[in-house]
Copies of this chain bind each other. A is one copy, B any other.
Amino acid sequence: MDRIRDRFRSYLSDQGLKSTQQREIILDEFLKAGAHLSTEELYLKIRKKHPHIGYATVYRTLKLFSECGIAEEHNFGDGQTRYETVAGESHHHDHLICTECKRIIEFEDPRIEQMQDEVAARHGFKILNHRLELYGLCDDCRKKHSS
């Protein structure tokens, strides 16, 4: 966690940007929240304790997180951009998304990753990024349906 904070501060000073109270607060709340938050959800969370922080600041700070590599943007098809922490050491992962209860489960599978590389190689493609999302019903929702 502190590693991430350090990384963010370094990024700021490297770029000639400034470390401000707002940015610290937003980073704290973002890390605390953990999950896959939309800009608005994070803004609402923050507003409770810090009503003076505006939406635009949250929005711009999340962009900053994504630029400096401590967060990743996602689009799960609900019309909102969501952000997720990228822990420095953790592996890339993909998502199972329950279309019913909106739960998001993370998983990683190196074999799938490797096959992606193979596909790319076959097409002379250089992968910079990828996303794999499986939409469906989670265990709980499946059970609810069948009962």
Contacts and interface: CB of A to CB of B under 8 A. Distances in A.
B130 A134 contact: yes
Contacts of A98: 125
A112 B116 CA distance: 8
A109 interface: yes
Interface residues of A, number: 33
A123 interface: yes
A137 interface: yes
B133 A131 contact: yes
Number of identical protomers: 2
Given A96-B119, A120-B96, A130-B132, A125 B109 contact: no
Interface string A113-141: 00110011011111111111111111100
A5 interface: no
A77 interface: yes
Contacts of A138: 123-125
Interface of A: 75, 77, 96, 98-99, 105, 107, 109, 111-112, 115-116, 119-120, 122-139, 142
Given A112-B115, A125-B142, A127-B135, 11 more contacts: A75-B75, A99-B128, A112-B119, A115-B115, A125-B137, A127-B136, A130-B132, A130-B134, A131-B131, A131-B132, A131-B135
23 contacts: A75-B77, A96-B120, A99-B128, A105-B123, A105-B125, A107-B123, A112-B119, A116-B132, A116-B134, A119-B134, A123-B138, A124-B138, A124-B139, A125-B136, A125-B137, A127-B135, A129-B135, A129-B136, A130-B132, A130-B135, A130-B136, A131-B135, A132-B132
